[in-house]
Amino acid sequence: MKIGVFAYNFKHWKTQAGIQNLCVAGYKPEVVMAADPVKLDFYQSKIRVSPKDLFLWHPKDLCEFHSIDYRVVKHNSSETAQIVQQKNLDIGIILGARILKPIAFEKFSIGVVNMHPGILPENRGLDNLKWAILDNKPQGVTSHLIDAKIDKGKKILQEKISIYEDDTLLDIHLRLQNLEQRLMLESIEVLKNANHKLEYLSDGKYYKSVPPEKEQTIDKIFNQYKRKFSDGKS
């Protein structure tokens, strides 16, 4: 089972954790295809859900340590497609990427796995943690083989996380991140079974970034949300 990784060419928690976990689990990637940062014109959220100032390794240094081929490429390019073909890659793992187009994933013999921090198909798109709170939906992670439509394709695994009455937004974010890493490894095991049939995800609502006027209501409803989904756990 030959694995290739899509990553960012800068320090990034998901990239670091994913490369380390793949190597420890015996799935050392053949190559990490790292894309340079792209400036995005997004609304800067006033409600932070992720930690700041973490100590992280650059993915190039991680790959050097683990003897993994490291290529800086544009993900949606013929160069990426050539790398996939030359290395006869079976599975791609997204540990850092913008929207991938078919040229980036159609040459993998099995496909490219994305770990989406939301329950699909109901919670497609961006700001999944916040939209789940605003729409009173459970938190969880869905792993799936991507296709040309955003957060669609074939579902591999899906699991909800526990919610506790004393949770902060950061607690939920970290729990989702941790589940993404576990489902990444379990998804590879599922895909190794050639007889395992996967079902296509049905259509669901696509969410853009939470607008400022809705984001301001999260603090007001967060405790009620936790009470609903915690079942008294603390």
Number of domains in the chain: 1
pLDDT at 144: 97
pLDDT at 117: 97
Residues of the chain with pLDDT under 70: 40-43, 194-195, 232-234
**Residue 78 β-bridge partners:** none
CATH code, domain with 17:
3.40.50.170
Give the three-class secondary structure for 88.
Answer: coil
The DSSP result for 36-60, as a single string, is PP--------SS--S-SS-----HH
- Give the number of other Cβ atoms within 10 Å of residue 50's Cβ: 12
| End-to-end alpha carbon distance in the chain | 41
Provide the residue range defining the domain that includes 128: 3-230
Summarize pLDDT for 76-104 with one digit per residue, the tens. Answer: 999 999 999 999 999 999 999 999 999 99
- DSSP alpha helices (H): ranges in the chain? 13-24, 59-66, 78-86, 102-105, 128-134, 169-192, 212-215, 218-230
pTM assigned to the model: 0.94
